[in-house]
Structure 1
């Protein structure tokens, strides 16, 4: 991955030097082990800060709408900046969705596609290590050697530490790009079948609802999932509106369910299964089982996969006489 990192640094510096980009969004080293920090490079000399490793887990597309947000207090708006973003498969697909929804001007965005080997999740590593704090991690081929604060070293197979979304990902490269670095992987099979989702899909409607309510009973309505999601860019969320008041801000389970049902409905045909919402949740709510069901339904009912075609609108916005209506006429 060092070769990829060097090319990223070189490309970012070149884009900034030639004024083809005003900002490059990428990753820099973190002060914490097994993590990388999103960073914004505006000077070619600072491109050396950019890194590319197994911990570049965040979906960088979440920062794009703010880069192009208009200032409501200014009559004459500045020209929109030219923004370059280092894009894994999920970043690239989220960027495509934002372009389609007119949150990001395509002509001002430079998508730099990079190959994603699947990112490692520090929280999974910490759970496997136990209570002793992780102080360092090194990779040797497919082996990850983790050292804790007691000095003990533990070896893991890389696949054991993969983020859940990466473990089941079948789209590891940005489908739309302006520049590519390295050899991009083609779409293929996931590293492992998602047995938890398959088990959920086989359940009856009543059993699914029971599981949904049990899982959401953990939620404290902190809105971390909303804040981490690239698709949640509304200036005023429906959950924050008071006229009308769609849902409460805490307490009864009905408020929690109203919030998540509304948010998940808004994700239908838009979610790219990046896992940002799950990683952000402080209570460990398994949102992915439910959002992944939406991803599967969009594909099976409408032959639609989010983030691949800039021209085609999401399935809940268009109407086609051939669309499946079994979910209305013959619900499960």
Structure 2
């Protein structure tokens, strides 16, 4: 595939499609997840495997599985292959979920095959019904957002994250309000608000980030999957090196390699660990300008930022990543336009 196959117009179209996709895919996701849950039963332990966007979606979904009483880990297929757990030595089989939008990630496929050989139940989460991953697993949750032109993962990321959240719900998610948490109506409205907020501030964010050699993103643990997803969109869409770190790693390690003149982007959206992330943001604001992603009306977060990207405020709990991830592509798109680049063009 050539760089000429990619366009910023397609990135814009995919961003605009997210709320409609959320509404259209909710029922198919619930049905597919319920079928997979009936097929395998609820696991005691869970391993989520992916690379890139798939891994970030897995990290973002882990709190939902914890709310279902399931101990889970997210890792790459390669990491799993270096220490494949035997059901005999680890107290019984763990359900292994392989995540790949295309269904063709070779490392995830190899890891899933090894997991099955050792007797671990396997689930595929994918956008490709006829992909190798769906055929190789014991059961599959397939959620396709529809045909699109080539683009960094935007609609497919949401489809995988939505599949994982519905799978957690089908496995017994007991968080307060869980039956209504994945109601597509409020979620789609919240996404629209977050997209509008990101688009309204994106040009200002791009101007701040354009001179920066490495975009540094920081978040609390609960938002780390979303922060890593945003870093990936900056790299894929705008050709800008970017990395995400949790707040402790940022403060104890990475800040020492950061030019204090350059802005730091902090995720301060609602969720466990936000108070601690806010404290690290305050410390950082004493030495560097901050771009803050925070819920609309969060005056504590706004006070520490030179610029605030607002997200919808009323969505809480483990579905929050569906709303917060919606700001990623608009910010990356604005930076790509500011720099005059196409997706994947730096190679």
Q: Going by fraction, where is helix more abundant, 1 or 2? A: 2
Larger Rg: 1
Question: Relative contact order (C-alpha < 8 Å, sep 6+): which is higher?
Answer: 2
TM-score by length of 1: 0.26
